[in-house]
Amino acid sequence: MFRTISIKEFPYKGKKYRFKEPLKARFESSLAQDFKTMVYEMYIEKIPDGFTRREPFDEDLTKELKTFIKHVFDDYVMKEDNEIGNLYDIEYKHKWISLLKQPK
């Protein structure tokens, strides 16, 4: 399986956040190096970021992507830099922020 989806906006705690360009995520499944185990990967090229897991994706890939973005917002975007601590994580937060349109 190989599919790419995109979203233009993301709801978070009653507000809609819009991306400057549609955020694209690639979903794919493949065999692991042991040639027995299936692995499932989601990858966002703009960041680059994503994850790999053994459980199959939900049929609704948009829901999978929105769940991932919600975790990013909870753990990085909505936190102050001094709450994050790690320089790499602060840089990661600002990469995500750079993808968002400024609120009006």
Better pLDDT: 12 or 50: 12
- Strands, E assignment, 1-104: 2-12, 15-31, 38-44, 49-53
Q: What are 24-83's pLDDT values in tens digits?
A: 999 998 888 888 888 999 999 888 888 888 888 888 899 999 999 999 999 999 999 889
Identity of residue 96? W
Residue 58, C-beta contacts closer than 8 angstroms, at least 6 positions apart: 64
Is the pLDDT reported for residue 104 higher than 70?
no
Residue 74 has a pLDDT of 95
What is this structure's pTM? 0.85
The whole-number pLDDT of residue 86 equals 87
Q: Name the residue with tokens 């459980």.
A: 55
- Long-range pairs for 60-64 at CB < 8 Å and ≥24 separation? 61/3, 61/5, 61/25, 61/27, 62/5, 62/7, 64/27
Give the pLDDT band of residue 16 (cuts 50, 70, 90).
Answer: very high
